[in-house]
Amino acid sequence: MTEQTPLQEIEHALQDACEQAGRPREQVQLLAVSKTRSADELAVLADQGQCHFGENYLQEALDKMDALAERGLVWHFIGPIQSNKTRDIAARFDWVHSVDRLKVARRLSEQRPQTLPPLQVCIQVNVDDEASKSGVPLEGVAELAKAIVDLPNLTLRGLMAIPRADSDDNNRAAFRQLAMTLSQLRNTMPALDTLSMGMSADFGVAIEEGATLVRLGTALFGPRPAR
């Protein structure tokens, strides 16, 4: 019997999680979190059919994009955004999950090349009000969403969160809160369709609570090497 690749193992786990949640597998996108991983490691996954990759560090990501330019991969920026990095993010990425203030959203819109389709964006929500984490507080989400929807070169897709590393029950509450917030937004913005939540340790709970995109790194690549 042929040994399964990590990607195949994850695919089975995602299938099981979706079945347990009573959801079709195609409702959940797998994003391979590839920060600190080499272009060669990404190429191995790409050869196995994975095409969505999430990066946190801009320069490292740009190097990998150049090395893998012929692959037709879809690049997601998922790290904190410094204002002086928005030009390259706007020009090179397909998705940005970590928009947490209007200034950054405006810059991304202004700097998105007209030759490219709109940048797909999610608002990062600080669902646990952690001082050390990026993200807009829950009470600020609706106002920021309303402002982003009016920006010409962005398409607001939904919400992203990184709950604290905690028990499944606490993470479930955070995921449920994010899902309810998206549901409320959809009363006036019905096109919103993305809940980017759930990582290697808790993606099953996230899928049960409505995640449409899970961000997995360690489960695909193994423990992260020291930077």
pLDDT digits (tens, 9 = 90+) for 71-84: 999 999 999 999 99
Strands 119-125 and 52-55: unpaired
Report the predicted TM-score, pTM, of the whole model to 2 decimal places.
0.95
225 inside domain: no
| Domain membership flag for residue 1 | no
Per the structure, the count of domains in the chain is 1
The verdict on residue 215 lying in a domain is yes
pLDDT of residue 129: 79
Question: Within a domain: residue 49?
Answer: yes
Pairing of strands 74-77, 52-55: parallel
d(CA 127, CA 174): 6
CATH number at residue 20: 3.20.20.10
Q: Give the domain extent around 22.
A: 6-219
Q: Do the domain assignments include residue 120?
A: yes
Crossing angle of helices 58-67/39-47, nearest 10°? 50
Domain-located, residue 224? no
Query: Measured at the alpha carbon of residue 74, what is the angle toward residues 68 and 76, in degrees to the nearest 5?
Result: 110
pLDDT tens-digit profile of 3-56? 899 999 999 999 999 999 999 999 999 999 999 999 999 999 999 999 999 999
> Is 129 inside any structural domain?
yes
| Inter-residue contact 60 to 34 (CB < 8 Å) | no
For 125, which DSSP code?
E
* Residue 227 belongs to a domain: no
